[in-house]
Amino acid sequence: MNTGLRITAYATAVAAAFGAAYAVGTNVDTVSKPVAHSEKKDHGGGHAEQGAAKKAAAPAGLQVSAHGYALDLKTPRAKAGERADLRFTVRKESSGAPLKTYEKDHGKELHLILASRDLTTFRHLHPTLPQALKEQGGTPIADGTWSVPAKLPKAGDYRVFADFTPRGAGQKVTLGTDLAVTGPYAPGKLPPVTATAKAPDGYEVRLTGGLTPGKPREVTLRVTRDGRPVTDLQPYLGAYGHLVALRAGDLAYLHVHPNGEPGDGATKPGPEVSFTATAPSAGAYRLFLDFRHEGVVRTAAFTVRAGGGPHEAGGGTEAPHGH
Ligand SMILES: [Cu+2]
């Protein structure tokens, strides 16, 4: 199947899943309302899974082991400011055997997100299975160990998210584990809520829309450079932008879907990129937009608050501080 069809099929499944979320929404509280991540693309042997989702669909990324898979980070420590090779395996919980075959999603078999617990550092990486060990002639011979170089500038506790779809499982899985980065630790404050964020090289991104606990909401990001709208964004991961949203406090990982895709006849290459996201609860979230222009992927980050309540001061009461 080509990429366009795959993404269309996925979007359809997501639309159906949101419908399902509404249907069961009256019987569950806000926190346990299913988020898009835990929904299935098909029903390939997942009845237990479905029951679990109805009972308590916790947000993704909070568990090191879920949906029958476990994330085994073989390099749980790194040094601040030094390049490290992160290595990890996804294991099947039933047998402990490494998972070696994956479905592509947004053009990649596995997406690895790194975020510092204070949400001031973010990386979206695409690890590789060593080439020589890749599937050959349909028979997997790899030991299933992924690796990716990463250089993290600041010490602290980081969360590592592996976002993938096991081949044949028909379901996306996001697992999270801790990575300790050694060095002098000076945790940052959550940056304040702002409507605009800067990215390197003169880019500015303006956010409209927002997050509502338990409901899908549209978030639109408008990209300008030196004050002029950017109308020639380049596709990145099957869309004109890729958005990751993490909840402040526990780094719950929200799955976010682009609205429209390059080549669908309606989606323009900027300046606006639109997404649909569901916040699992009230609170503060940090949104990271990756976009590609003139061959370079850049990131703009925003703090957004969903609902009101006790987390109202999610951005802190202190004056905005620079980075
Ligand atoms: Cu990715």
Which tokens sit at 1? Answer: 């199947």
Task: Give me ligand 1 centre to Cα 265, in Å.
Answer: 24
Task: Give me ligand 1 centre to Cα 297, in Å.
Answer: 12
The per-residue pLDDT for 289 is 96
The per-residue pLDDT for 58 is 84
Confidence of residue 142 (pLDDT cuts 50, 70, 90): low
- Tens digits of residue pLDDT in 270-293: 999 999 999 999 999 999 999 999
- Tell me, yes or no, if the pTM score tops 0.75: yes
Task: Give me ligand 1 centre to Cα 257, in Å.
Answer: 13
Assess whether pLDDT exceeds 70 at residue 70.
yes
List of residues 6+ apart from 237 with CB closer than 8 A: 106, 107, 108, 111, 290
Domain segments of the chain: what residues?
7-182, 196-317
Helix (H, G, I), strand (E, B) or coil at 155: coil
DSSP state of 274: E
Distance, CA of 150 to chain centre? 17
Task: Give the Cα separation of 262 and 295 in Å (integer).
Answer: 16
Task: Give me ligand 1 centre to Cα 149, in Å.
Answer: 15
Task: Give me ligand 1 centre to Cα 268, in Å.
Answer: 21
Task: Give me ligand 1 centre to Cα 316, in Å.
Answer: 30
User: Which segments of 15-155 are extended strands (E)?
Assistant: 65-66, 69-73, 77-79, 83-92, 102-103, 110-116, 122-125, 145-151
The mean pLDDT of 256-263, rounded to a whole number, is 90
Choosing among 1.20.1250.20, 3.40.720.10, 3.40.50.2300, 2.60.40.1930, the CATH entry for 7-182 is 2.60.40.1930
* Under 8 Å between Cβ of 148 and 125: yes
Length of the chain (residues): 323
Q: Which residue has the higher pLDDT, 127 or 8?
A: 127
Task: Give me ligand 1 centre to Cα 287, in Å.
Answer: 15
Task: Give me ligand 1 centre to Cα 110, in Å.
Answer: 7
Most confident of 19-23, 33-37, 138-142, 314-318: 138-142
Task: Give me ligand 1 centre to Cα 23, in Å.
Answer: 31
Which tokens sit at 114? Answer: 């790194």
Which tokens sit at 301? Answer: 């980050």
Burial class (CB in 10 A: 0-12, 13-18, 19+), 242: buried
Task: Give the Cα separation of 256 and 286 in Å (integer).
Answer: 13
Tokens 């003139």 identify what position?
A: 294
Task: Give the Cα separation of 311 and 323 in Å (integer).
Answer: 23
Tokens 């042997």 identify what position?
A: 45
Bridge partners for 284 per DSSP: 305
* Sheet containing strand 242-247, strands side by side: 253-254, 242-247, 283-293, 296-306
* Under 8 Å between Cβ of 144 and 83: no
Task: Give me ligand 1 centre to Cα 125, in Å.
Answer: 6
Task: Give me ligand 1 centre to Cα 12, in Å.
Answer: 21
* Under 8 Å between Cβ of 125 and 114: yes
Q: How many helices (H) and strands (E) does the chain have?
A: 2, 20
Domains 7-182 and 196-317 share a fold: yes
Bridge partners for 24 per DSSP: none
The per-residue pLDDT for 107 is 86
Q: Which residue has the higher pLDDT, 33 or 226?
A: 226
Assess whether pLDDT exceeds 60 at residue 195.
yes
Task: Give me ligand 1 centre to Cα 309, in Å.
Answer: 33
Assess whether pLDDT exceeds 60 at residue 268.
yes
Q: Is the peptide bond before 258 cis (omega within 30 degrees of 0)?
A: no
- Tens digits of residue pLDDT in 78-123: 999 999 999 999 999 999 999 999 999 888 999 999 999 999 999 9
Task: Give me ligand 1 centre to Cα 128, in Å.
Answer: 12
Task: Give me ligand 1 centre to Cα 112, in Å.
Answer: 6
- For residue 182, the tally of other CB atoms under 10 A from its CB is 12
Task: Give me ligand 1 centre to Cα 121, in Å.
Answer: 16
Task: Give me ligand 1 centre to Cα 178, in Å.
Answer: 19
Task: Give me ligand 1 centre to Cα 37, in Å.
Answer: 15
Task: Give me ligand 1 centre to Cα 296, in Å.
Answer: 15
CA nearest neighbour of 112 among 159, 146, 163: 163
Cα four-point dihedral sign 261, 262, 268, 272:
positive
What single-letter amino acid sits at 174? T
Helix (H, G, I), strand (E, B) or coil at 249: coil
CATH superfamily of the domain spanning 196-317: Macroglobulin (MG2) domain (2.60.40.1930)
Q: What are phi and psi of 312, to 5 degrees?
A: -50, -35
The per-residue pLDDT for 128 is 85
H helices of the chain, in order, are: 3-25, 47-56
